[in-house]
């Protein structure tokens, strides 16, 4: 059996925006207010950070990064606990492509993850790494037709990211079609993310049986805005 040191390194890029420098959760803020939307964003981010920390404790070949939206915030105190990489310019597809290519030059495998995921667990992250042993790519499907995680051990052309229309009911299906010539794609468990107040009932219904203390705190915060 191969030792851990001989296993490939996997970069995990968490796509973040910096409070006070970029608008955050604008569609959610439109219904519950900016302050409450920011509070939920911060709680989601803390839960995702916790999941990444636990995954890294279990697998020493994971290399976590914050992919920071604002060039001026690369050295912001909020992001200093991890290595950082800039998202670059352009729309979401261009920024995803930029981060993926940047980290692919440093590591064998690259994983990109959203941070508005109340129920992301370290087990999802380790499952993605495990799936890359037998598949070229891994995709975490969202409840809204998008995806919350993508990982690969093969080069991904920029067009696979940029030819996708994001925030659409068929975003994931578009992405999967563009990825199909590149190898096999393994699915992860489906997870919901937080974009709208209307997402909250489905998120609460999907709450896992076993939650961290921080996830229970987030669950209470979400419940306050259920309608």
Q: What is the pLDDT along the chain (227 residues), one digit of tens a residue?
A: 345 556 899 999 999 999 999 999 999 999 999 999 999 999 999 999 999 999 999 999 999 999 999 999 999 999 999 999 999 999 999 999 999 999 999 999 999 999 999 999 999 999 999 999 999 999 999 999 999 999 999 999 999 999 999 999 999 999 999 999 999 999 999 999 999 999 999 999 999 999 999 999 999 999 999 97
Q: What is the dihedral of CA 135, 13, 29, 73, to 10 degrees?
A: -160
The answer as to whether 69 is a domain residue is yes
> How high is the pLDDT of residue 7?
82
For residues 117 and 222, the answer to whether their CB atoms sit within 8 Å is no
> How high is the pLDDT of residue 174?
97
The answer as to whether 2 is a domain residue is no
What is the DSSP code (8-state) at residue 9? Answer: P
Which among 80, 85, 66, 70 is positioned nearest to 14, based on CA atoms? 66
The answer as to whether 227 is a domain residue is no
The answer as to whether 214 is a domain residue is yes
DSSP E strands, 17-165: 62-68, 83-86, 109-113, 137-141, 147-152
The number of domains in the chain is 1
E strand or H helix at 200: helix 200-205
Determine how β-strand 185-187 pairs with β-strand 137-141. Answer: parallel
- Structure-token pair, residue 93: 């597809």
> How high is the pLDDT of residue 4?
58
The answer as to whether 198 is a domain residue is yes
CATH of the domain at 217: 3.90.550.10
Question: How far apart, in whole angstroms, are the C-alpha atoms of residue 196 and residue 167?
Answer: 12
The answer as to whether 123 is a domain residue is yes
Angle between helices 34-58 and 213-223 (to 10 degrees): 160
Angle between helices 122-131 and 34-58 (to 10 degrees): 50
The answer as to whether 1 is a domain residue is no
What residue numbers bound the domain in which 97 lies?
7-222
Question: How far apart, in whole angstroms, are the C-alpha atoms of residue 214 and residue 140?
Answer: 22
- Structure-token pair, residue 109: 């495998």
pTM: 0.94
The answer as to whether 65 is a domain residue is yes
Determine how β-strand 109-113 pairs with β-strand 147-152. Answer: antiparallel
> How high is the pLDDT of residue 5?
58
Which among 19, 178, 183, 21 is positioned nearest to 93, based on CA atoms? 178
> How high is the pLDDT of residue 1?
39
List the strands of the sheet with 147-152, edge to edge: 83-86, 62-68, 10-16, 109-113, 147-152, 137-141, 185-187
């Amino acid at each position: 059996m191969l030792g851990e040191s001989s296993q490939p390194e996997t970069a995990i890029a968490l796509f973040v925006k910096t409070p006070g420098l970029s608008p955050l959760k604008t569609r959610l803020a439109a219904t519950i207010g900016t302050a409450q939307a920011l509070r939920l964003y911060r709680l989601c981010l803390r839960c995702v950070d916790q999941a990444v920390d636990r995954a890294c404790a279990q697998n020493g070949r994971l290399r976590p990064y914050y992919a920071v939206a604002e060039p001026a915030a690369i050295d912001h105190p909020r992001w200093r606990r991890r290595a950082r990489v800039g998202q670059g310019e352009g729309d979401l597809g261009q920024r995803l492509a930029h981060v993926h290519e940047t980290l692919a030059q440093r590591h064998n495998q690259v994983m990109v993850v959203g941070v508005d995921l109340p129920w992301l667990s370290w087990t999802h992250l380790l499952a993605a790494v495990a799936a890359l042993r037998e598949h070229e790519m891994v995709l975490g499907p969202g409840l809204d037709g998008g995806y919350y995680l993508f990982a690969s051990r093969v080069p991904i052309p920029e067009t696979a990211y940029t030819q996708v229309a994001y925030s659409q009911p068929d975003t994931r299906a578009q992405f999967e079609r563009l990825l199909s010539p590149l190898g096999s794609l393994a699915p992860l468990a489906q997870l919901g993310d937080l974009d709208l107040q209307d997402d909250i009932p489905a998120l609460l219904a999907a709450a896992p049986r076993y939650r961290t203390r921080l996830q229970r705190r987030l669950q209470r915060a979400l419940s306050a805005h259920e309608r």
